[in-house]
Amino acid sequence: MSSKKVTITEVAKYAGVSVTTVSMVLGNKGRISPDTIDKVNQAVEELGYIRNRAAANLRSNSSEIIGLILKDISDPYYSEVASGISEEIERQGYMLILAQSGDSQERFEKCMMTMSRQGVGGIAFCPIADNQQFNIEKMKEQNLPLVCVSRASLDKHGPEANNNNYAAKLATEHLIKQGHRRIAYVGGASSSLCRAERIGGYCSTLMQFGLPFKPEWVVECEKGQKAAANAVQTLLSEHPQVTAILCHHSSTALGAVYGIHRSGRQIGKDQFIGEQVSLIGFDDVEEAELTEPPLTFVNFNAREMGRQAAKRLISQLEQEHSQPYSLIQPPQLIIRESA
């Protein structure tokens, strides 16, 4: 056959049946004899007919396509979420389409509506902000399954896969039990609910052990490693008594390595001689084992979050009256040589 796109009419003619019959076979509808089904499928294969899956999905009100909207594809946490979702939906016979919204609410809503119009079966998404508000009534009207994958508590618009952000308690307690009394927190923005919850865990743990909370030891900074390096260098220059640091992002922890070295200090567990600073980050990454020494992390297992979110989304897709759900993945402290 030529490279010209094959039409359903040509398939019908080749198989010796009507266009309606071909349509019914492709849509798996109606009472068609096995012989006729075989003839149509053979014609489709021999002619190289490509079915319009999007149109078929819209007609049948079902889809093998799942949408995923991420704020930042390059972010290690979101990359792991995407990997987990992709692995699970492909295992169950679905495929993934991916969109990136950035920080724009308008872009996020456009991604939502475009995916809906393209006939996806459901949408998983990571919010652009921890306290994001959005209108999904139009999605509900279309009975489109939605799953929000987030590490912080959001306004409960729909089913949510949620992490426990008080994992900072786990990290702070670990440092205190090692003898640290002067622990700082670096990274994130004051508008972040995720950061607020982590600082809440950090603060409450200090109070639990009778240690003071020092606002000047809680430092905001942008997400990149350069910003973190500068913030940590400034922190240690102004407050040399600090012996341990919690880092809000994985990139913050990696950047903090440079900031500690620039301040003339080293990374390690020995805080008593005043030269070493212990370091703990959130959201483990492969690079954590490449630094010297390797970095301790609190890990939320983003890939497993993605897998579980995909399972719940497919459950909604295949069960018309599935119930909303909330998924909490417990954090895990991965102890390495930095703390």
Owning domain of residue 38: 8-51
* Residue 287 and residue 171 in one domain: yes
* Residue 285 and residue 197 in one domain: yes
* Residue 216 and residue 159 in one domain: no
* Residue 17 and residue 136 in one domain: no
* Residue 280 and residue 204 in one domain: yes
What total of structural domains would you count in the chain? 3
pLDDT 10s digits, 65-119: 899 999 888 877 788 889 999 999 988 888 899 999 988 888 988 888 888 878 7
For 264, the 3-state DSSP assignment is coil
pTM as predicted: 0.66
CATH of residue 131 = 3.40.50.2300
* Residue 251 and residue 291 in one domain: yes
Note whether residue 144 is domain-resident: yes
Note whether residue 93 is domain-resident: yes
Least confident residue range of 52-56, 180-184, 200-204, 267-271? 52-56
* Residue 322 and residue 227 in one domain: no
pLDDT 10s digits, 301-330: 888 889 988 988 888 877 755 555 556 677
**DSSP assignment of 38-94, as one string?**
HHHHHHHHHHT----HHHHHHHHT--SEEEEEES-TTSHHHHHHHHHHHHHHHHTT-
> For the chain, how many residues are written?
339
Closest to 305 in 3D by CA, of 4, 72, 79? 79
* Residue 174 and residue 290 in one domain: yes
* Residue 20 and residue 89 in one domain: no
